[in-house]
Amino acid sequence: MHERLVPGATLGGYVVERHLARGGMADVYLARDRASGAHVALKVIAADVEVVQRELEHEARAATCVRHPNVAATIAAGVDAGRAFLVMEHVDGVSVRDLLGALTRVVVPIAVRLHVVAGAARGLDAAHEARDARGAPLGLVHRDVSPSNLLLARSGEVRVIDFGIAKTRERATQTRLGVLKGKLSYMSPEQAAGARLDARSDLFSLGIVLHELLSERKLFAAASPAELRRLVVRAEIPPLPAHVPAPIAELVAAMLQRDPASRPASAREIAETLERALRGDEAAQLAPIVDALVDGRAHEDALYDAATRIDELD
C-alpha cells in the first residue's frame, strides 16, 4: 500500500489539501484542481496500477453516462507517479455511515431517514437506466450500495458515489462467477453467492440500508465472513419497530426478498413509494443535522492531527 499523501502533494494536476477517508482499497483526499481552483475528491487506489487502470477507465466512462442530482459526478481518471487515481465531485457533508453512528445521540425524524433512501433510490435509478452514446442500455449495477457510499450534502441532498466496482452488462459477461466485490454485510444473497447480477441486487442492498436506518441496528453482523455470508443468504429478517408506518415496513420487506423477482420492479418504484410518505421539507430538516455532524468530525480531525504532531515530537 502506498504511503498517505501529505498536504501540498500533487497528483495528475491536483493539489492535495487534506485526507478525508480510507477504505479497504483506497484513500480519498480533498484536493484542488490547479487549473480551475475547484475542489474535488481525489480517490487514490492502493493496488497495482496495471491491475486497476482498466477498472478506473471503465468507471470514468460509465459514470459520464450517469448525470443526475443524486449521483456525484466522476470527472476524470488517470495514473501519475505510479498511483492510479479517480477524480470525483467533492460533496461537502457526511456519509450515511456517519448518520447511522449518530442516531443514538441525534434526533432524526423518520421522514428524514426516508428522504435519504429516496434520494439514493433516485440516483440508483439514473444509473440503472443509463445509456451509452448510441442510446443502448448499459445495464449498470453499482454492486457496492452501502452507508459509506451514500453521501449527505450540507444542503440536505443525497449523492450516490463510488461506481468503482460497478459493472455494465457487457463487462459482466467477462467477469468470473464466484468473484465477490463489495461489502459483504450489504450484499444481496445472489452477490454473496457469486452469481451474475442485475439492478435488483442493488435494491436488496439499499433495503439493508433502509432497515438499519429505521431499526438503528446492524442487520447482518457476524464474527467471520463465512457466517456473515450465511446470514445474508438465509437469516430471517427481524421485524422493524412498531412505530414504522405499515407501507414502509412492507416496502422494506419487499426490498429484502431473497428472490430477486419478488423485489420491487425498480429503484424508481422504491423512490416513489417513499416520496409518498414525505412532505417535501425533509432536505431542510436534514441540513442542520449534516452541519452538526460535519462540525463534530472536524473537531475530531483537529484532535487527531494535534495528537499526531505530539507523537512526532516525541
Does residue 184 sit in helix, strand or coil? helix
**Which amino acid makes up residue 127?**
A
Give the integer Cα–Cα distance in Å for 3 and 225: 28
Q: Which three cell numbers stand for residue 148?
A: 459509506
Give every CB contact of residue 281 below 8 A, 6+ residues apart in sequence.
none
Which runs of consecutive H residues, i.e. helices, occur in the chain?
A: 49-64, 96-102, 110-128, 169-172, 189-192, 199-215, 225-234, 246-255, 267-275, 282-313
> Counting Cβ atoms within 10 Å, is residue 300 exposed (0-12), middle (13-18) or buried (19+)?
exposed
CA-based nearest residue to 110, from 241, 222, 233: 241
**Which amino acid makes up residue 118?**
A
Identified catalytic residue from 125, 144, 162, 202: 144
Instruction: Specify whether 144 is catalytic.
Output: yes
User: Contact, 62 vs 140, CB < 8 A?
Assistant: yes
Catalytic positions, written as ranges: 144
